[in-house]
Each structure stands twice: as C-alpha cells, then as structure tokens.
Structure 1
C-alpha cells in the first residue's frame, strides 16, 4: 500500500498528462501520430504501434506496448503497476486498464492510499469497447474480451469471455491451416 499523492508520483502524473496532451493534440489538430512522445514516456513502445487520440495514462513509465498493437480512441491506462500489452493486440474505444486496488478502510482512501497489481495482456488479444481490465489480471494469448465486459480474474489463452464479471463462454479453436 502506498500514498498516491507523494511529490514523486504527483510529478510523474503531471509529466504523463503533459505528454498525453501533446500527443493527443498532434493527432487532433495536426493529424500527426508522434510516437516519439509516447516512446519517451512508456517503459517500452514496440514497432509499428497505433495509438489513437484522447489516450490517457496515469504515469506511463510502467507501460510496455507490443509490436503491431492497436489502442483505439479514449483509452485509459492507470499504471501504478506494470501493464504489458503484447504483440498484435487490438483494443477498442473507451477501454479502461486499471492496476489500482483501493483499500476497504475509508480513512485510508481519504488519505489517498492504494495498492496496485500488474496487468498482462498477451499476444493476439482483442478487447471490445468499454471493457475494463482490472488489477492483477492476465488475459491469455489470442483471447477475446466482449464489449462492456469487466475482467476481474485471469482469462485463459484462446478463450472468449464476456459479462460483468467476465466469464469464459467458449474456447477458440485454433486451426493451423492457412
């Protein structure tokens, strides 16, 4: 558990907000995707990223974004713990990825205490619009998360999960044929 309002975290959040604002403005007003801005912020930015405007992250320094991955409009990543987005991941508009865990004790919440757990979105995952990926979750390789789902537990590889909370409704059959 830590205080999210320390001077160091406040400075990191201000830096991330500034970079996100500059990045979003370049897209919205200049039609330019300036990945050098996000590269300076993220822990790792893979090759051939595609990150749409109105992107927001809390710190940025804990985000690893894979090769050929896509993050659509209005995505939010609260990255007090590591967030790993694998290769060839497709994330729809208005998805929230939140590493934060708030304490039950209202006194601690009032004092801005929280904890955080990492999120791992493995290669080939597709996440539908308005979905929420919660702290401590791994979404397994090639899985699909339905629109509006709230993922609170790990999703195995090659699964389709939907609902609130998200539940696996079927496995994906991987056909090795072209």
Structure 2
C-alpha cells in the first residue's frame, strides 16, 4: 500500500513520501496562482479552482486560499467562501451545496498521534470532514478532524468544532455545542 493510500484511509503515513510531496507542491503552486490572479477574473479563478479541487457547481471563493492537496476537497454547488480559507485535506473534505463559509475558516483533517514516542516517528494521519448542505460557518470557525456537521446548521463565529454537530441547529463555542434546534 502506498503512503497516499494510507493517508486517504486515515492510517498512519509518511508525509515526506515523494509522491505526497509532489502532490502537495502542485497544490501550493495552484494556490499561489489562484491567490495571485485578478480577483475580478471569474473565469480564471473558476478554472484554477476546478484544477485544484473538485467542484460540482457554481462556487465563489475569495482570495487567499490554502489547501494541502486540494484534490481531496469536494464542493457542492452554490457555495460561497469569504477571505482566508485554509483546508488541510489529507483526508476527504466534503462541503455540501448552498454552504456559506465566513472569513478565516479552517477545515482540518490532519492530525498526529497522541503518544509522544509515536508522534516523534514523524508519522501522521487524518480523519475526514463532512459539511452538509446549507450550512453556514461563521468567521474564524475551526472544524477539527473527523467532524460531520449536519445540513441547515449554523456554526457561530469563532467556534471550535471538535465533535459532530447535528442537522438543523445553531451551535457555538469552544468546544462547539448546540445552542438551539431550528
């Protein structure tokens, strides 16, 4: 099994693997191209996003953006992302349709072993993130590895989402918790 296959399966893998370094380098170059593009040239921005990530429909992402790989991130249609999105997509990131993402949001699938000896080995792993349709992530939200956020949910600004949040609610805080059902 390759290091990439291990990474995508959420198993311990070596991030310094040549294939992974090359794919990460590709993403870094595409992010730079996107971030340096004319912000009013929607055609160029759309073209770069479709090379970098998996886009199912209309999408607007304000510059700057940063992706570890991009190829592991999937966007539904009618998605709006404000300035400064950071996605550490060592595992699959699924973002549904009609999602709105505020400025400075971080979506993180990458994580490290808790055991210090194992962590010192340099191996890491990831856990996928799923964000349902019609979710709103407020400014500065951090979505941690392995989290699923249900459809129609609003996550308040500055929240740190460490565990699954159900559909049809408002959730806030650090750690993020349901404030009310919709």
Q: Tell whether the structures are fold-level matches, with TM greater than 0.5.
A: yes
Distance in 2 (alpha carbons) for counterparts of 1:169 and 1:94: 22
Partner of residue 7, structure 1: 18
User: CA deviation digits over 1:78-112, x for unaligned, max 9?
Assistant: 00110000000000000000001211133433443
Which of 143, 148, 171 lines up with 1:161 in the alignment?
A: 171
Aligned length: 169
Which of 144, 159, 182 lines up with 1:134 in the alignment?
A: 144
Residues 3 and 111, structure 1, Cα contact 8 Å, conserved in 2: no
Structure 1 residue 19 displacement after superposition:
0.3
* Runs ≥4 residues deviating over 2 A: 105-112
Instruction: Give the secondary-structure state (helix, strand or coil) at the position aligned to 1:27.
Output: coil
Distance in 2 (alpha carbons) for counterparts of 1:27 and 1:105: 45
Structure 1 residue 121 displacement after superposition:
0.4
Instruction: Give the secondary-structure state (helix, strand or coil) at the position aligned to 1:38.
Output: helix
Instruction: Give the secondary-structure state (helix, strand or coil) at the position aligned to 1:156.
Output: coil
1:120 maps to 2:130: yes
User: CA deviation digits over 1:21-66, x for unaligned, max 9?
Assistant: 00111035xx323211121121x20221001101000001111011
Partner of residue 99, structure 2: 89
Query: What's the RMSD between the two structures over aligned residues?
Result: 1.2
Which of 21, 24, 48 lines up with 2:58 in the alignment?
A: 48
The aligned runs of 1:19-98 (5 Å cut-off) are 19-28=30-39, 31-33=40-42, 34-42=45-53, 44-98=54-108
Distance in 1 (alpha carbons) for counterparts of 2:38 and 2:129: 27
Instruction: Give the secondary-structure state (helix, strand or coil) at the position aligned to 2:32.
Output: helix
Residues 27 and 53, structure 1, Cα contact 8 Å, conserved in 2: no
Instruction: Give the secondary-structure state (helix, strand or coil) at the position aligned to 1:84.
Output: strand
* Residues 36 and 83 (structure 1), Cα distance of their counterparts in 2 relative to 1, 3 Å cut: same
5+ residue gaps, structure 1: 173-178
5+ residue gaps, structure 2: 1-11
